[in-house]
Amino acid sequence: VVRHTDCFDTKTSSWVERADTSYYGASHMHSAEDFAQVIRAHWGIENRNHYVRDVTLREDASRIRQNPGIFARLRSFALNIFRKNKITNISEALYDNALCFDNLLALNGVL
């Protein structure tokens, strides 16, 4: 898959075309539309899960050094509860539920 993008170069103050090439392997031949759908689904996981964990939950900035996996599981648990309740704005949900514990207990799947 080759993607052409225009990037703004701040040093020269001009737009520069850039081509990125990604290689994907498959055991069967499929149409380009099928491959595009699979690739978008794969990167959808990055956008829906990892981005929220990195930006909203600040997982990359965490300074927890002993047993960080425990807190990662707690973050996953919180995201799963919010997603089960069809909450799309995770940042707002964290703020609302931090202020009122009763709201958190009222969510489907907590108790």
90-99 and 68-84 are packed helices; what angle lies between their axes, rounded to 10 degrees? 100
Alpha-carbon distance of 89 to 2, in angstroms, equals 33
- Residue 69, domain member (yes or no): yes
Alpha-carbon distance of 22 to 54, in angstroms, equals 24
Both tokens of residue 104? Answer: 């958190």
Number of structural domains in the chain: 1
Q: For residue range 66-98, what is the model confidence (pLDDT) as tens digits?
A: 888 999 999 999 899 999 999 989 999 989 888
Is the pTM higher than 0.85?
A: no
- Residue 10, domain member (yes or no): no
- Residue 36, domain member (yes or no): yes
- Residue 1, domain member (yes or no): no
* SS3 (DSSP) at 39: helix
- Residue 22, domain member (yes or no): no
Range of the structural domain that residue 84 is part of? 29-106
